[in-house]
Amino acid sequence: MAYRVVHWGTGATGRHGLAGVLDRADMELVGHYVWNADKAGRDSGELIGRAPVGIAASHDLDALIALKPDVVTYFGNGVRDRAQTTAEIARFLKAGINVVTSSLGSAIHPAAHSDESIEELRAACKEGGATLYASGVDPGFATGMLSVAAFSAAHCIDRVRLQEFANYGNYPDEQTGRGIWGFGLPLDAETLVSTGVMLRSTWSGTVVANAHALGWTIEDWKTTCVTAPAREDYDTAIGCIAKGTTSAVWFQLIGVVDGAEKIILEHINWIDAGDIPEGWPVPPQYRGDLAETSYRICVEGQPAYDIELAMADGDADGLGITAMHCVNAIPMVVAAEPGIIDQCRIVPYGPGG
C-alpha cells in the first residue's frame, strides 16, 4: 500500500519535493496546501509545470488534516516566520500525522537545542503519537550524515571543516539574499549573518552533532564574517547588486574543544565568483567547471582527506537534494517511534526506502 502524502509548498525547494512524491510508486499524493490563496483550486501538477495529477491545491488546513494522511511533506518558508512554521507543523503532529521537512533547521539535531520550538514539537509528537524528521542539505545531508560517515575512515582527527560554496546570483528569495546574507548592502552592514545570531541558531546543532560523532564536547563558540565588494553592477534574481556593495560573504561558526578551534562550519557564498578574494577557500569544480553549489568536508588528521559533493546543476540539484533527503525518509519516519528523529543517529536510506 502506498504512503498517503499531503504536500506543503511549491517554492524553490517544495516543487522538488512534490515532484519526488509524484514520481515514487510507493507514495500517493492525497492533498496539497498552498500558502498563497490565489493558487487554491489549481492542479498540483500544473503548479510545478507538469501534466494534471487530479489533486487540487487547497488553502484549507483543516480539510487537509481531515484527510488523515500518513505524512506531510512540509516545505514552507521557515526563515520568514519560525514560530508560525513550528505551530503549523505541530498541528499535524498533534493530529497524529507524521511530518518530514526542510524548514526547521533546529529540529535536525534536537538533542543540541532546548528552545521553545523544540519543546513545542516534542509535546506535539507525544500528544499525537507522531514522528517529525527534519533535514536538508546544509544543515542536513552534506554537513551531517555525509560528514559523520566520512569520519569512520580516519585513524585520528585533529580538526574538521564543513564548507558550503554557493552562487546566490540566481537564488530568487530576496529576504535571504539581502536580509540575511547582506548581498547588495554596504560591506559593513549588520545582518543576521554578520552578528553571528543566525549562525548559532541554524548551525550549532550541526557542529554539536559532528562533535558528538568524534567524542568531542564544544566548550565555547566563535563566529567570523568577512565580505567582498562587487566589481560592477549585477542584474540578479533579487534585483540589482550595485558596484561596491556586498557580492561575496565568508562566514564561520567555530566550535572550540579543549581550547582549540576543532570544528569549523563555513560558507563561501557569492553573486559573482570573480569577486571571491584571494585567500578565501576555493570552490570545488564539477568535471572541470566551477561548481555553482557544492560542499566540502575537510578532515585534518591521519590520514588527511577532503570529500566533495559537487553537482552538475548547482541551483537545481542543491534544492533537489534538500527536498529528496526528506521525501526519501518517509518510509523510515512512518515506521519510527513517536518523537523527533536526530538526523545524525539513523540508518542511511535511499530512494528505495
Residue range(s) in the chain whose domain bears CATH number 3.30.360:
141-311
The mean predicted confidence, pLDDT, of the chain is 93
pTM for the structure as a whole: 0.89
pLDDT on residue 79:
65
State percent of the chain over pLDDT 70. Answer: 96
- The strand pairing partners of 228, in sequence order, are 248
Interatomic CA distance for residues 153 and 131, integer angstroms: 32
pLDDT digits (tens, 9 = 90+) for 310-324: 999 877 898 999 999
pLDDT digits (tens, 9 = 90+) for 195-206: 998 899 889 999
Residue 254 has pLDDT above 70, yes or no: yes
Contact 171, 75 (CB under 8 A): no
Residue 172 has pLDDT above 90, yes or no: no
- What is the dotted CATH code of the domain comprising 141-311? 3.30.360
pLDDT on residue 353:
47
Asked, as a colleague might, if the bond just before 52 is cis with ω within 30 of 0, I would say: no
Interatomic CA distance for residues 332 and 323, integer angstroms: 16
Burial of 330 (0-12, 13-18, 19+ CB in 10 A): buried
pLDDT on residue 106:
85
Residue range(s) in the chain whose domain bears CATH number 3.40.50.720:
3-135+329-341
Question: Angle at the Cα of 18 (from 14 to 20), degrees rounded to 5?
Answer: 115
pLDDT digits (tens, 9 = 90+) for 274-307: 999 999 999 999 999 999 899 999 999 999 999 9
Fold of the domain built from segment(s) 3-135+329-341: Rossmann fold (3.40.50)
Burial of 308 (0-12, 13-18, 19+ CB in 10 A): middle
pLDDT digits (tens, 9 = 90+) for 183-227: 999 999 999 999 998 899 889 999 999 999 899 999 999 999 999
